[in-house]
Amino acid sequence: MAEIDREKESKEILEAYEGLLSAAKHAKTDGATQERMRTAFYVAVEAHKNDRRKSGEPYIFHPIAVARICAEEIGLGATSIICALLHDTVEDTEITLEDIQEQFGEQEALIIDGLTKISGVVDNNVSIQAENFRKILLTLSEDVRVILIKIADRLHNMRTIGSMRRDKQLKIASETLFLYAPMAHRLGLHSIKLELEDLSLKCQHPEVFEEIQVKLKKTQEVRARFIRKFTSPIKDELERKGLKFEVKGRSKSIYSIWNKMTTKNIPFEEVYDLFAIRIIIDSLSEGEEKSDCWQVYSVVTDFYQPNIERLRDWISAPKTNGYESLHTTVMSPTGKWVEVQIRTRRMDDIAEKGFAAHWKYKEGGVESQFDKWINQVRELLENSDESTLDLIGDFKLNLFTDEIYVFTPNGDMKSLPTGASALDFAFTVHTQVGVNCLGAKVNNKLVPLSHQLNSGDQVEILTSKNQTPKEDWLNFVQTHRAKSKIKHSLNEEKRKVAKEGKVILEREFKKLKISYENISLKELQSFYKVPSDIELYYEIAINKIDLTKLKEFEVRKGVLRPKRKITKRVQNLFGQKKSLVPVTQKMGRPVLVIGDNMEKLDYQLANCCNPIPGNEVYGFITVTEGIKVHKTSCPNTVQLMSNYAYRIIKASWIDEQDAAFLTGLKIIGIDDVGIVNGITQIISNEHNVNMRSLSFDSLDGVFEGRVMVLVQDTSHLTNLIKNLKGVSGVKKIEQIDK
């Protein structure tokens, strides 16, 4: 191991700090502020002096980089920079929150407390990731800088993720896509949101990322020429009108290209909107911004035909994250649709830097869309009865959705997520209006509660004091406000019924001569498959639970336990003693090695993605079905790794047995006589390839076939696909899960 050059490292650390100061010129308002920042730097250096990152570099480079992102890319001030420098000290060093408060202040201590992870969770059924995110949300409602610093922290971790273990990379990337990219979007951090998505894709699917990146580079010069030619007449006319402006060509992000390719099932070449033109105007005053933008729109549409259905006016009605812009899609002379974004310098600043820029331009006393959203977060957190995962699910629900704008009978405008129902609107007006909602009139026509609203609708809510929320309401509401209020109301009703259920359970244990103090509610919840003690009591009260099964329990060491443990081996994987239960290797199935100790354990293959040997996989510990093995590319991976990282275990193939795995192929081509026979002959002639099912459809000379085959591994499958592509008429083959 090479000797560490401490003097060189110290010089590099000071250079990094100087770079931070240069990026934070806007934050150095006076000498006292500069001194506080310098003190925070030296405290962090001393606290982390013995710590190193996975890459081997001194740990202090990380908090300096996070602080620089806060200053340079988000535009935050001195308090945020100080907290970013110190954000890991309480969690990882001897420094306490009391020390922070004493030396830097109460606000800094509050923010750093919000950034400090919960050290441990006693219950293995609780996601520590979810609990940490809940803690951030609780602090977010008091000081939004907590989540902004957390996003900066996550961005730097994603930029340097290459030095981590592969399984850790996948968990962090999944969590980033699931929570942090949507949160950056909601806070208006557009460029950071795009980078987080791209870095996550690069981590999860490096080959796909590289392929799209190479294709973008190859077409870069062609796009640049197209942009110059397309914008030339627009520039000339805007200059003639005396407007000051800047024109940019913005490429679509790699993640969004991949997302469109997968959701629409099209190749790269068919993603037509690979880039957008952005026109940024230097308006003389905020009062002239709207007319300036529409003037530019008029110029653009004078030269190019617009697609009226693709016009988006976020100037008259800004998004809830403060985003303002005018978007139109026009037809170019080459027959390609081009998106043109029109905005002012102020709007562009807010679009790129979000929250921090929003406050920079905010006028005193005016409640913005962003303020309203923060108030919604506070309101959501008031309902503390929800499980953490439900809370995050409801919170995340509206982060990525587009918005519609509807009106009250008095003409007041309300913004709702796309797909919102009349009932969502009722809860937006007032909680009590939602609770007592019977129906609605949309544009003077009577509609049911589940009626989906469209932009421009005028909605009148009909109520009755006798109406109360129903369970099925949760099936057609979209907003977290409506969901949380309905759940709260239903839980109140359940509590009343559950009291009776508790009495029934106590009476039943009395018959079995078991003291109620010995009852383990967690064991009973797991046995009866209910999520909480209230649900347990409630289902007992309504006779949904068979209490005669209590005979299957016994008291061991003073605690009620099931007579037989179902998941003994699975529980041992949570870092406890090694399993003493012998594992029987199933015949005809390859062996996976699972867990940090790479043990040969029993498992099942997940039906959602049907992994086969050669696929990159991981194990997921289920509650009742043991270990299920998924592909890392499984559509459920992001959610599983984000919410249940403590149940994810390493898995890899170590031996290829003579076994068959079910997988599907979709075959597309030009219909021709004998093509089906040609395909089936190839499959039947392949060694050890058996067909489970085969179906073909033909329409207007194009056929699409679906075939389920049994193969040994990925190389076996690749060889089969290669031979099928040789059949005359076959144009495209892709693997499908079902």
Same structural domain for residues 666 and 729? yes
Crossing angle of the two packed helices 388-397 and 369-382, in degrees rounded to 10: 160
Whichever domain contains 290, its CATH number is 3.30.460.10
Q: How many residues does the chain have?
A: 738
Same structural domain for residues 712 and 732? yes
Where among 539, 562, 585 does a domain terminate? 562
Report if residue 472 sits inside a domain: no
Whichever domain contains 689, its CATH number is 3.30.70.260
Q: What is the pLDDT of residue 425?
A: 94
Same structural domain for residues 550 and 649? no
pTM: 0.67
Report if residue 406 sits inside a domain: no
Same structural domain for residues 136 and 252? no
Q: What is the pLDDT of residue 681?
A: 78
Estimate to the nearest angstrom the gap between the alpha carbon of 515 and the chain centroid. 46
Q: What is the pLDDT of residue 687?
A: 53
Report if residue 265 sits inside a domain: yes
Among 391, 395, 489, which residue's Cα sits nearest to residue 126?
Answer: 391
SS3 state at 20: helix
Report if residue 408 sits inside a domain: no
Same structural domain for residues 53 and 109? yes
Same structural domain for residues 112 and 28? yes
Same structural domain for residues 132 and 194? yes
Same structural domain for residues 258 and 347? yes
Query: Is position 92 annotated as part of the catalytic site?
Result: yes
Report if residue 253 sits inside a domain: yes
Report if residue 17 sits inside a domain: yes
Catalytic residue from among 57, 92, 385, 704: 92
Report if residue 483 sits inside a domain: no
Same structural domain for residues 515 and 631? no
What is the DSSP track for 669-708? EE--TTHHHHHHHHHHHSTT-EEEEEEEEEETTEEEEEEE
Query: Hey, what amino acid is at 525?
Result: Q
Whether the CB-CB separation of 328 and 297 falls below 8 Å is answered with yes
Same structural domain for residues 308 and 356? yes
DSSP state of 53: -
Where among 562, 580, 614 does a domain terminate? 562
Q: Residue 360 contacts by C-beta under 8 Å, 6 or more apart in sequence?
A: 75, 349
What pLDDT, in 10s, does the model give residues 494-523? 888 888 888 888 888 777 777 766 566 777
Same structural domain for residues 540 and 673? no
Instruction: For the chain, list residues with pLDDT below 70.
Output: 1-3, 28-29, 118-142, 272-273, 321, 354-402, 516-520, 552-593, 595-600, 654-661, 673, 685-688, 700, 712-713, 737-738
Query: Is position 211 annotated as part of the catalytic site?
Result: no
Terminal CA-to-CA distance of the chain, rounded, Å? 51
Same structural domain for residues 689 and 727? yes
Q: What is the pLDDT of residue 569?
A: 41
Report if residue 368 sits inside a domain: no
Query: Residue 507: which domain range?
Result: 489-562
Beta strand 445-447 with 245-251 is: unpaired
Where among 562, 583, 600 does a domain terminate? 562
CA–CA gap between residue 67 and residue 73 (Å, rounded): 10
Which tokens hold the place of 469?
């929320």
Which tokens hold the place of 227?
């942009």
Catalytic residue from among 91, 506, 552, 554: 91
The count of domains in the chain is 5
Instruction: Look at the block and give the residue holding tokens 């406050």.
Output: 359
